[in-house]
Structure formats: structure tokens, C-alpha cells
Structure 1
Amino acid sequence: MDPKELGKWSFYRALIAEFVATLLFLYIGVTTVIGYKHQSDPNLNPAGDPCGGVGLLGISWAFGGMIFVLVYCTGGISGGHINPAVTFGLLLARKVSLIRAVMYMVAQCLGAISGVGLAKAFQKAYFVRYGGGATELQAGHSVGVGLAAEIIGTFVLVYTVFSATDPKRSARDSHVPVLAPLPIGFAVFMVHLATIPITGTGINPARSFGSAVILNRHEAWHYHWIYWVGPFVGAAIAAFYHQYILRAGAAKAIISFKNSNAHV
């Protein structure tokens, strides 16, 4: 629980960092999505220019690139989570306290709502028309497929976070802490390439929640639970895999238990 954190300025500074980072992440990401849909709108572009807008690749770069930038900027302040699923995974691995994890998630969700609200203010003429950047299960895909895509995508992200920030690896390879934001950003980029055609890519409950709140239309809330359950399950699997399989946490616990009993 660590309630002593509530009396530290560093705790509130970290919350502010998570709020602002998630705000910027959603503002850039959602604005990019809306801009692309406007530029590639067949009603405005009857010729159907295949190069109209940034495309799937550009949207993926927008989300992945912003995560790279924001993790680099906030890593030394809050850890650069910017995602309730990442926070949840680190909580399960006992790398953050319960109080910090809950407050981080609140700050992230509020930041996401504010970021999408800012995007709507800047793109008022196009926001609702082009779906507000909301994540939706794409036509032709079942709920099971969408849920699996979110689980696997979040697993890739959270597994990358654990690997890039592993303290044992950092001690052995001094360059790892500096490079950590790069593989994390690339993980987000790659997952977007794979899952945008399936779910629109959530892998971040705050990202989906912020868009759904501001757009507030049926299609944004329909199957919204996928964007919470999938990322949390994926994060839990990643935490278990890294801590208990790769780092042999389960084996160490069993050995420690046997040794303690042997001395009784």
C-alpha cells in the first residue's frame, strides 16, 4: 500500500507527469487519425488518391513515436507508464505500490479525456464526422478475435517494457536505460500496424476510454469492455512470463521455501 507516498511531492509530480503525457499522447494520436480520415475522404477526394493522408503507417508512427518521446521525457519522473495496462502489469510485478497504481490510472484516464477534448476543440468541424479517433471492433472480425488481438498486442508492449527496464539487464548493459524508450515506442508502432485493421488498436484502456467519453456515441461504447479486459489480461500474462519464467521467480520462491523449511 505504502500510504507514506501521499505525503511526498514526488508522488504528485509523477501524477502530473502521467496526466500531461497521456493528454499529449491522445491529442497527437487522435488528431492524426482524424486528419488522415479527412484527407482520404472519398467524398472530398473522388479520384481516390492512394497517397492521400498519412495512411496506416503514419498513424502507427504517430502513436509509437509519441510513446517514444513521452517515455523518454517522463521516465525519470513517473516511470513513463502512460497506460493503465502497463501500470497494472508493474503492479502485479510489485514494482509500484497499489496507491500509486490506482492514482496513475486515474491520472491517465483524465489525461486521455483532456487530450481527446483538446483534439475535438482543434478539429471541431471533423471530429464527430470521422469518428473522433475512437477504437471500434472492425467489420468482419468477431469479439473473440478482437479480444485476442488486444491481449496479444498488450502482451508485446508490456513484455517489452519489462525487458527494456529490467534492472539486472541495466546493471550489465549501461546503455539500456538510455535506449529503453526506443523499443517501447517501436513495440507500440508494430502492434498498431498489426491490430488497427482488427480493433483500431487499443492496448491502452485510457486511450480507448478518453475517445469514447468525448465522442459518446453507441459505436464507441459497443464492445468497449474489450479495450479493458484485453489489455489487463495481456499485461498480467506479460508480468507472469517475465517475472516467473524468464527471471525464474517461481523457482527461486520454491527454493527459498525449501531452504527455510530445511532449517526448521
Structure 2
Amino acid sequence: MDTRREKRKEHAFQMGQEEGTQYVFQLSPTKSAIPMLRTHKVPEMTLSNAWQILRLCVAEMIGTAILNFAVVRAVEHPPEHSAAFLIVPIALTLSIWIAGPISGGHINPAVTLALCSSRLVSFIYLPIYWLSQFFGALTGAALAHGFTVGMLNDTAVIRAVAMANQTTAGSQGYVGQFFGLHLAAELTTTTMLLLTVLVSADSKRPSDWGSHGFYTSLAVGMMALIIGLFFGSELACFVNPVVALGLSIVLGLKSGFWAHIIGPLLASLVAALLFQFMFCADAGLKRTKACLCVSNYDYSTDLSPRDPIALPDK
């Protein structure tokens, strides 16, 4: 009994729940993530621990991918001078906001190394963070470059058609000359926006990352701003099917506009599954199954694992 009590006290301390324990700025995960990051021993590889480490990896990858997407787009397609200094800081803010409750939102190998060197995070987790950040950076950079190349090809085709027909075909291409490219753009940007909405509105989000009306609207607004900065005017990303539908009806733009209808709708499903499976407080397969299969599903129901996460013996 005493051993269990000691483990509960140790668990509460690591989670920042012990009375009098407060962290001024929580750069290590809160109670929704891995509680053993400060334990300088290899954790027992239970199913619960493995799942939480996977969540950490995915959160760091997505956060770092968003940041690197912004950086590469800013380099390959510089925005106007007034917007150039905004795009990367906003991307960094949103990356930390999304990944923070799960992985701490390091988004930077130097931050992880500093925390490990300060013994706030165990060096055991340094390779996990670094690998996640590396693959996230690679993914974000590759996506940004792929969109840049696709947009250049799209623009070239539009100009060639316009010259051949001696008409201004630019507006037709704007709404989707390349169906696949525009569908991918809509799917990516709308998923980002909706994931920001979902994590901001999560009532179970830890108090340090709590959802408040102003901060939620600010986060969603910043994500919408950065989507516009990502793609500029060369590639339409409406992230809203009715906007594309309205333009199609009012302006008579028909070419490929279905990409802007289908993309956001698919993205809503992707964002919802990501939220239930990875990003909500008690995320996991059990939560996702309940969301998909239970007719009287109630999000407030606690579906976290019944067995506490195993802590290594001292």
C-alpha cells in the first residue's frame, strides 16, 4: 500500500499536480501526454507508454512540419514586405499551440537539448524528439516545395492557354486548372484550420493551454492568415466549400471548382479523426471507436486508459 501511495505522489509531482507545484511555462508535456519525461530512467515499454510516445512523435512532427512549411514557402515565394516578418512567427505560435499539451511543443532540436541539459527532460527522450523534428521538417519542406513547383506549372499552363486563345484564362485557372493540385491544397490547409479549431475548443484541454473565447478566435484567425500567406494569390485555398460555390455561381467560374468543394469536406473528416485519435486529452483508439460507433456518444465521458501509466522503479 505504501509503495502505491509513493508512486501516486511521484506521478502527481511529475504531472505538476502536487500541492504547491507550479510551472511558470510548461515546456514539457502536461497531464495529457507523457508523465515520465523527467524520470531519468528508461520507461517500461507498456502499451500505454508506447502509445504516449507515439503521440509525442506525431505532435512534434506536425508542429515542426507547419513551421518548416512556412519557412520554405517564405523563401521560395517571398510574400510582400509587410507580411514577410509575420509568417514564420505566426507559424511557430500555432505549432506550439497545437503540439504543446502533447509533446511540450519544442519544435526545435535546440529547445529539446536545452531542456535536457537543464534536466527538465531526460536525455533518454532526446533522440525521440530529434527524429520526430527531423522527419517533420523534411515533410513540411517537401510539401511546401511540391506546392511551389505545382503552382509554377499551373501558372505556366494558364498563361499558355491565355496566349493561345487571346483571352484571360487566369481566372479559370485560379479556381482549379489542376484538380489534383487544388484538391491537395484544400485538403492540407483546411485540415490545419480545423485542427486548430478542434484543439482550441477542447473542454478537456489542460488549464495552461485552456480554451478561452479570445484565444480561440485569435488562434483560428492566425491560422487563416497564415494559410493566405502560405499560398498567396497564385493558388486558391478557400478552406470553405460555400466560398468556392459562391464564386462559381456569381462569377461563373466552373473549371475544376469541385476540388474546392471536396477538399474541405474530406479535410473535416481527417481533422476530426486526428483530433479523436491523437490530440484530445484522452485520445486513442477507444475514443475514436466511441466517436464513430456509439450512437449516444458524449465527449465529456472519460475514456482514458483505466490502468495508470507504469512508472519505472527507482
- TM-score, normalized by length of structure 2? 0.35
Q: Which has the higher contact order (CA 8 A, sep 6+)?
A: 1
TM-score (norm 1): 0.41
User: If each structure's helix is expressed as a fraction of its own residues, which one has the higher value?
Assistant: 1
Compare CA radii of gyration and give the structure with the larger one.
Answer: 2
